[in-house]
Amino acid sequence: EVQLVESGGGLVQPGGSLRLSCAASGFTFSSYWMSWVRQGPGKGLEWVANIKQDGSVKNYVDSVKGRFAISRDNAKNSMYLQTNSLSAEDTAVYYCARYKGNDAYVDLWGQGTLVTVSS
């Protein structure tokens, strides 16, 4: 089955860190751009970051630059998001997403993992 499964979310204090993981299965992971998209409580969708097939290109939304780092391990069919210096504004469900071809259109979504930043 073609799927993406996120893990690593949880409750973290302001200023803390979390590493989110996304495990891919059912397709050739190394052939796809991948991305993280988040959704705050009661809010819309927000693109966070994406990464090229070989990891050589990474892009970030300004609000997370310098705090978050996207990476991937094609041998493990996995993508990661290291989140540092977290604040309440980072509280959200984080979705792992696969792009269709080389366009940043998502054709496959994970179920999401919740990150809650609170003291």
Partner 1 sequence: DIQMTQSPSSLSASVGDRVTITCRASQGISNELGWYQQKPEKAPKSLIYAASSLQSGVPSRFSGSGSGTDFTLTISSLQPEDFATYYCQQYNSYPITFGQGTRLEIK
Q: How far is the CB of 62 from partner 1 (least distance, A)?
A: 7
By CB under 8 A, is residue 31 in contact with partner 1? no
How far apart are alpha carbons 28 and 71 in whole angstroms? 17
By CB under 8 A, is residue 21 in contact with partner 1? no
Phi-psi region of 29 (alpha: psi -120 to 50; beta: other; left: phi over 0): alpha
The nearer residue to partner 1, 105 or 118, going by C-beta atoms, is 105
By CB under 8 A, is residue 17 in contact with partner 1? no
Which tokens belong to 116? Answer: 């809650």
By CB under 8 A, is residue 16 in contact with partner 1? no
In total, the chain counts a number of residues equal to 119
